[in-house]
Amino acid sequence: MVSAVTDGSATITLNEPERRALEGLVANRNTPTKVVWRAKIILATARGLGTMAVCKESGKTKKTVWRWQERYAEEGIEGIKRDKTRPPGTPPLSDEIKAKVLAKTVTETPPGATHWSVRSMAKAMGISHTSVQRIWREAGLKPHLVRTFKISNDPEFEEKVVDVVGLYMNPPDKALVLCVDEKSQIQALDRSQPGLPLKPGRAATMTHDYKRHGTTTLFAALDVRTGLVVGECLPRHRAKEFLRFLRKIDRATKKSLDLHLVLDNYATHKTPQVKAWLAKHPRFHLHFTPTGASWMNLVERFFAEITTKRIRRGVFRSVGELEDAIRCAATIRDYLDQHNADPKPFVWSKSAKAVLAKERRALEQLQSLSCWSQTTESEH
């Protein structure tokens, strides 16, 4: 029972079960923080502390202490476990308004912009920006994001997908499947000023502007089964350099194994000199990814990794330093040696059927969009 007294304080008398229940709430690590301090207010009041003493112990204001003393007196322990529902300050938006916001978002664009922002839509509809955020969130709309795509126009797309995916998911016996490509135009960039190192409470810094000191090309062959990489830095990426790298692959692999190389359609991979060399080395078998589908080459994943870990945030004052960074990470061991010491293969998981189905869906969507666009233009 709570009864007010002249100095603004209150009294609460607890029986043993009530006290144990409140103390249990305080001791339980899963109790919400707000329920814990409410229970502490009631326990402190039951110990006979005045309002100011309870405020000091709980860190809450007098109004807050009085509110929860009164709530406990009216509803008991269940009263401090929940918040009372407050009436909204403004009436909720009607379904009609929500539908108009959604329709406007997907069918119109604001003046002078390519897509709606929260505030431009709020201004156009005469509602708050938080209402727009809520409507978009419920509908899963994100006008600021756009997903890029590319559809191959290769007439042999299906055959090449089946061929390459078959090598990944069911590699031939007594053979190596190697994903081969070159990462060209790797720039040796030096920052205009030294950056600040990482420390607690502050990210490392790096100047936005830089100085160029030349480029190099990294040739790499990724063993699909083991994740091991054969690599070499060369100044250019012509057929001459590609042949040199093929010879390195030839030396680095067992002569008893056939080699199935997955490559993109870059012109240097198909020159007469390359074809002549391959004719003399019949254990080499080239498999080309579809045009515009170099993402099927798993070595691209390795290139992304080396870019993130070793190149993007590096400072290189010469091409030599850049190549050392690729070859001599930590100035002791070759980056490729570090990778090969504990290789992790990149596992291809999507079947050829799934890839082809996704391609067909994309084509169908583009065709339907084209038909809709032509119909709209004719109506106008």
Domain boundaries, the chain: 2-81, 95-139, 157-353
What pLDDT score does 142 carry?
A: 94
What pLDDT score does 377 carry?
A: 54
pLDDT in tens, 149-199: 777 888 888 899 999 999 999 889 889 999 999 988 887 777 877 877 888
What pLDDT score does 369 carry?
A: 61
Exposed, middle or buried, 146 (CB in 10 Å: 0-12/13-18/19+)?
A: exposed
Q: How far apart are CA 22 and CA 38, in angstroms?
A: 9
pLDDT in tens, 75-86: 888 888 887 765
What pLDDT score does 137 carry?
A: 94
Instruction: For 260-321, give the DSSP string.
Output: EEEE---GGGS-HHHHHHHHH-TTEEEEEPPTT-GGG-THHHHHHHHIIIIITT---SSHHH
What pLDDT score does 177 carry?
A: 94
- Residue 305: pLDDT above 90? no
pLDDT in tens, 218-253: 899 999 999 988 888 888 888 899 999 999 999 999
Distant-in-sequence, close-in-space partners of 229: CB < 8 Å, separation ≥ 6: 220, 221, 222, 223, 299, 302, 336, 339, 340, 343
Specify whether the CB–CB gap between 132 and 169 falls below 8 A. no
Q: Say what the pTM is.
A: 0.62
What pLDDT score does 376 carry?
A: 52
CATH number of 157-353: 3.30.420.10
Mean pLDDT of 5-23: 77
